[in-house]
Amino acid sequence: DISIPSSLKTWFMSIYYISIVVMSILSLALLNELWLLFWSPIINCKSIVDFLLINNNFGGIIMGLVAAIITTRSWLISEETITKYYSIYITRIMVIILVLYTIIMTIS
């Protein structure tokens, strides 16, 4: 067992959960845009991507999250043997977030 300080564990888990939430929002936005691209909407409502495009702060939120992941990742390099799986998962999530955001901005 590894003893990680509670403040560090809180930081790691908050970065992880925020990343999962942002990735879920972007995934739903992409699915929504693909649905609207091929089929007409059942109910006339604003799309999720319109919300993301209107809210200019969302890109800043993503870049802040990526910066936090990079900062966390740089600390984990020295502790690679202890937190290897967390480091790999958070890096994959960061790449998925960046790819999804790029695709959504390209489609719309």
In tens, the pLDDT along 54-96 reads 666 778 888 888 888 888 877 766 665 566 777 788 889 999 9
pLDDT band at residue 33 under the 50/70/90 scheme:
confident
User: Looking at per-residue confidence, does 105 or 79 come out higher?
Assistant: 105
Q: Which of 64, 13, 92, 21 lies closest to 29, judged by CA?
A: 21
Q: How far apart are CA 22 and CA 14, in angstroms?
A: 12
- Which H or E element spans position 29? helix 6-38
Predicted local confidence at residue 48, as pLDDT:
62
Cβ–Cβ under 8 Å, residues 13 and 91: no
User: What pLDDT score does 106 carry?
Assistant: 82
At 53-62, the pLDDT tens digits run 666 677 888 8
